[in-house]
Amino acid sequence: MSDITFYTNPQSRGQIVHWMLEELGVPYDTEWIEYGEQMRSAEYLTVNPMGKVPAIKHKAKLVTEGAAICTYLAVSYPEQGLVPKAGDPSLADFYRWMHFAAGPLEMATTSQSMGWEVAEEQRRMVGFGSYEKTLSVIELALAEGPFICGEQFTAVDVFLGAVLNWGMLFGTVKKRGLFEEYALRLQARPAAKRAVQLNEEYMRSTAS
């Protein structure tokens, strides 16, 4: 039994954490959680009272929320190089853009998906301001490339890269040249491919 137990569903944001775990390259156990009764069960609610995935248990400590899990794993295994070292100026970029992706970008793409309109005079009241402004800010960050922390690939690229890639696939993120180049570069990584393969294999194994 490994130190990490990973709770996920193949058709969920758990794929982000699956990719992160494959990048990390340490042993982990996977618990596949089905939507519906199992995800709302008393047993699973002790893992995540929200009744959703992903979640991890690491040495008896529970962590939920994709961005938090990716950050936690990167910091817990610094020798894997998925977070800048203490004192490295790019550590500021790591925390800044991880939280931006989980906050303003998440809210902007959700509002876009739901068709929520934010009047111009109300934009100062919401964390993302406007959808277009949020995407433009991300574009500026990526212009420094090839990764968010410069030459170092980190956990931020896992989280942000997945959000942008899925957003473009499902129409909640407008396709822009830098976004497409970034997503393609990340999806070509062996760990990203392994995560996709693992999820696809599980879905095939449970198909009736």
Residue 145 placed within a domain: yes
What is the tally of structural domains in the chain?
A: 2
The pLDDT tens digits of the residues spanning 107-130 come to 999 998 899 888 888 888 888 889
Question: In CATH, what number is assigned to the domain containing residue 73?
Answer: 3.40.30.10
55-58 and 61-64 beta bridge pairing:
antiparallel
pLDDT digits (tens, 9 = 90+) for 52-74: 999 999 999 999 999 999 999 99
Over residues 67-89, the mean pLDDT reads: 98
Q: What is the pLDDT of residue 3?
A: 97
Asked if residue 148 and residue 71 are part of one domain, the reply reads: no
Q: Do 134 and 160 have their domain in common?
A: yes
Strand partners, 44: none
In the predicted structure, residue 152 carries a pLDDT above the cut 90: yes
- pLDDT of 153-192, one tens digit each? 999 999 999 999 999 999 999 999 999 999 999 999 999 9
Task: Tell me whether the omega of the peptide bond preceding residue 78 falls within 30 degrees of 0, making it cis.
Answer: no
Q: Looking at the structure, do residues 61 and 147 belong to the same domain, yes or no?
A: no
User: By the 8 A CB rule, do 36 and 25 touch?
Assistant: no
CA atoms within 13 A on the CB side of 181: 9
**pLDDT at 208 > cutoff 80:** no
- The verdict on 101 and 176 lying in the same domain is yes
Domain finish residue from 81, 105, 129: 81
155: in domain: yes
| The pLDDT of residue 120 | 85
Amino acid (one-letter) located at 124: R
Same domain, 22 and 77: yes
- Residue 207 domain flag: no
Q: Are residues 100 and 169 in the same domain?
A: yes
Is 200 within the bounds of a domain?
no
56 within some domain: yes
Query: Residue 206: inside a domain, yes or no?
Result: no
- Judge if 71 and 104 occupy the same domain: no
Can you tell me the mean pLDDT for 144-151?
94
Give me the domain span that covers residue 61.
4-81
Same domain for 168 and 96?
Answer: yes
E-state strands within the chain: 4-8, 29-32, 55-58, 61-64
- The pLDDT tens digits of the residues spanning 18-29 come to 999 999 999 999
User: Is residue 64 domain-shared with residue 108, that is, in the same domain?
Assistant: no
- 198 domain residue, yes or no: no
**In a shared domain, residues 107 and 186:** yes
Q: Evaluate whether residue 96 is within a structural domain.
A: yes
Query: Where residue 180 sits, what CATH number does that domain have?
Result: 1.20.1050.10
* pTM, entire model: 0.95
Tell me which long-range contacts 166-170 makes (C-beta under 8 A, separation of at least 24).
167/109, 170/113
